[in-house]
Amino acid sequence: MLNIVEIEHLTVQYPDVKALDDVSFTVKEGDFLGIIGPNGAGKSTLFASMLGLNTKYRGTIKFFGQDIKKSKNYLKEIGYVPQKPIFEKNFPATVTDVVKMSLQKESNEKNIDNILQQLWIHELRDRRIGELSGGQQQRVFIAKALVNNPKILILDEPVTGIDQQSIDLFYSILRELNSKQKITIIWSSHDLDAVNQLANHVACLNRTLFFHGESDEFFQNDDLVKQYSEASMQEHMHHH
Amino acid sequence: MSLEILTFSFMHRALISGVAIAILCSVIGLFLVLRRYSLFGDAIAHSSFGGIALGLLAGVYPLWTAYGVSLVSALLITRIKEKFNISGDASVAVLLSSGIAVGLVIIGISGGFTVDIFSFLFGSILLVSVNDTILILFLTGIILIVVLLLYRQILYSTFNEEQAKVSGVPVEKINYLIVFMAGITVVTSIQLVGVLLISALFVIPNVTAIMYGKGFKQTAIISITFSIFSVVTGILISYILNITPAGTIVLLSIALFAGTMGIKSTKLLSKN
């Protein structure tokens, strides 16, 4: 299988803290990679760097074999679902308006109906985005990310503050996108059980990468899971 | 009252320019309001007052110097916000007062207030010339074409800058374009409502329309409709009653806004 993403020695130094320290890993076509790590582990910095939003890093990031500092073309092949999309609460845009915003080609417009149906939001298409529940909004942003038939879907902690039923629906949608439509998925999450069930690869990040490999390899190694749980528990206590 | 007033050519010019300005302010204002930049129009207008005073002092057509000064300040405001991490409202406040301060000093040097100054402060739509009308129509046409061509990018970067960037939209350039177009729109609108009431045209029809419209285009159309209604009715009423058009226009749009809030709150009450 083709290496679709190659990250080599990625280091991001903020004024007071090293957000990422010498992180290297690859993602192959068709992978479903779950990135886990406690708060402040550098997941959002990693994504910001991969998406070209943060350019102040050392090391290289390649998509489809090409350094992203040389060309932004790779972004056309990526669908991105942010952690919590920020927009004006009363922004006058319907679901269709929002999904259409990311259209790269007019010819992709015919995809919209199918995608909305697939994500169970077709009947909401003329509603204002701000009137929807968190779970519905999240599906709108997935639809928006899918509209250009991306090869890769990048999702940043996308279940924060959403009800369980919507989360289950969201997970089944992800599984289908990966298994049926062969979309490579890179997904950061706090939910170890969900990562265990969905992802076939795991990357464990806490500023440095302390595990990257097959999902089974991680979850069958009690020491690793324990180490991770302790690290995130400490972080959790630290935050409270 | 007869329909005779509709036969005057100054009235034709006033109505044509008024409608063009109404459309322009609604469209540009909708993006500004949604970007939380509602007072931006006000800041540019006040800074262009400095430009007007400069023009009057130098004996140049004041709107030309106003265009120059307002564009420089529009770009400056954006630059200051980007470079020095000063919040949008604070940079607007700085610019707003500096424009008036510069204007007052220049007026002082040139020997005090004149009728000309008042017409710029409060508008003089009934005095708009043929050349002014042509310029207003030309600028409105150009700006609307640019907005239509870049509609998706402007809307997307207004909705969420970060996501727009990831989708490859040149967000910084679009931001500069918006403030540039807003600068031109403000000076063009000075003739209709004057420096002091411009932000009313930018903001009021749009906050009213946002309460009705579902999608973006629908909201824009509702806002344009309200705006044209206020401008046309305002010009006619003010002429008939011999009162100031600027005040009448703005009061009419405030009435539409208040009426809308009334309708919405009775609907909310009846729901409960």
Is the per-residue pLDDT at B150 higher than 90?
Answer: yes
Residues from chain A contacting residue B155 (CB–CB below 8 Å): 93, 97, 101
Give CA angle at B255 (B252, B257), nearest 5°: 115
Residues from chain A contacting residue B215 (CB–CB below 8 Å): 92-94, 96-97, 126, 128
Residue B114 to residues A55, B145, B217, B221: CA-CA distances in angstroms?
A: 55, 38, 43, 39
Whether this model's ipTM surpasses 0.95 comes out as no
Residue B157 to residues A102, A214, B90, B153: CA-CA distances in angstroms?
A: 11, 38, 22, 6
Chain B nearest-CA distance from A22, in A, is 24
Write out residues 83-122 of B within 8 Å (CB-CB) of A: none
| CB within 8 Å: B216 and A92 | yes
Chain B nearest-CA distance from A25, in A, is 22
| CB within 8 Å: B215 and A97 | yes
| B155 lies within 8 A of chain A by CB | yes
Chain B nearest-CA distance from A95, in A, is 8
Instruction: Lowest mean pLDDT of A229-238, B164-173, B251-260, name the range.
Output: A229-238
Average pLDDT over residues A14-35: 92
| Residue of A51, A88, A131, A137 to mutate, interface with B, max B Cβ within 10 Å | A88
Average pLDDT over residues A5-33: 92
The band of A235, judged by pLDDT with boundaries at 50, 70 and 90, is: low
Do B56 and B116 meet the contact criterion of CB atoms below 8 Å apart? yes
Sorted by sequence, the CB contacts under 8 Å of residue A132 that are 6+ apart come out as A95, A124, A140
| B32 lies within 8 A of chain A by CB | no
Which helix (DSSP H) or strand (DSSP E) does residue B33 occupy? helix B9-34
What pLDDT does A240 receive? 46
| CB within 8 Å: B168 and A90 | no
| CB within 8 Å: B214 and A127 | yes
Distance of CA A88 to the CA centre of its chain: 23
Interface A:B, Cβ pairs < 8 A: 69
| A213 lies within 8 A of chain B by CB | no
Mean pLDDT (chain A, rounded) = 88
Average pLDDT over residues B36-48: 88
Q: What is the pLDDT of residues A112-125, one digit of tens each?
A: 998 999 888 999 99
Distance of CA A97 to the CA centre of its chain: 22
Q: Is A64 left (phi over 0), alpha (psi -120 to 50) or beta?
A: left
Residues from chain A contacting residue B164 (CB–CB below 8 Å): 101
Residue B150, both tokens: 């870049």
| CB within 8 Å: A91 and B36 | no
Nearest CA in chain A to B157: A101
| A233 lies within 8 A of chain B by CB | no
Is the per-residue pLDDT at B215 higher than 90?
Answer: yes
What pLDDT does B272 receive? 58
Which residue among B34, B36, B166 sits closest to A80, beta carbon to beta carbon? B166
Do B260 and B253 meet the contact criterion of CB atoms below 8 Å apart? no
The band of B2, judged by pLDDT with boundaries at 50, 70 and 90, is: low
Nearest CA to A3 among A24, A30, A22, A23? A30
Entry pTM: 0.89
A106 burial (CB, 10 Å; 0-12 / 13-18 / 19+) is exposed
Residues from chain B contacting residue A94 (CB–CB below 8 Å): 214-216
Is the per-residue pLDDT at A27 higher than 90?
Answer: yes
CATH among 1.10.3470.10, 1.10.10.60, 1.10.3720.10, 3.50.30.40 for B3-271: 1.10.3470.10
Is the per-residue pLDDT at A36 higher than 60?
Answer: yes
